[in-house]
Structure 1
């Protein structure tokens, strides 16, 4: 049995700009949402998921114009990584 906790994919949010109203003071917060248009994510902090498992988190360094692939910037000892939509990866912002 694996002792590592399994993360669940975020659910029920599909629009990056959707916000929920906070309580008191008019504060609001962003809702985590699945993104289909990867071409517009350069500079955004994202989570990468594959088949319901969290694969990576980071800042999008670059994305193809057609939105089929994106690169997550290198951080610390991690190298720059590429993810392609056709392999089933999902990007959550």
Structure 2
């Protein structure tokens, strides 16, 4: 199981995080950490890229998943991603 990210932020606008490494949570538990490969324009679904033994997977907001992003180096960049 992955450790919680220190300084992580909940992201609600999923289409802005393509290519970022994120943490997927559901009911407060960490499900997976991975790189966002694609997102729908309505920000309801993302694809996490396959990595190692983890296959490519579709994550749907409607199923109760949350996306958390590690703190970014720039406060301005972080603000624009999380809006």
Place the TM-score, normalised by the shorter chain, in its bin: 0.7 to 0.9
Offset, 1:76 = 1.1
Runs of 4+ in 1 over 6 A off after TM superposition: none
For CA contacts below 8 A with separation 6 or more, give which structure has more relative contact order. 2
Contiguous gaps of at least 5 residues in structure 2:
70-83
Larger radius of gyration: 1
CA RMSD of aligned residues (A): 2.0
Contiguous gaps of at least 5 residues in structure 1:
11-29
TM-score, length-scaled by structure 2: 0.74
Please state which structure has a larger fraction of its residues in helix: 2
Cross-structure match for 2:60: 84
1:30-69 paired onto structure 2 within 5 Å: 31-69=7-45
Residue deviations 1:43-86, cap 9 Å, x none? Answer: 00100000011000010000001000001100012110111001
TM-score, length-scaled by structure 1: 0.67
> How many residues are paired up?
68
Matched residue SS, 1:92: strand
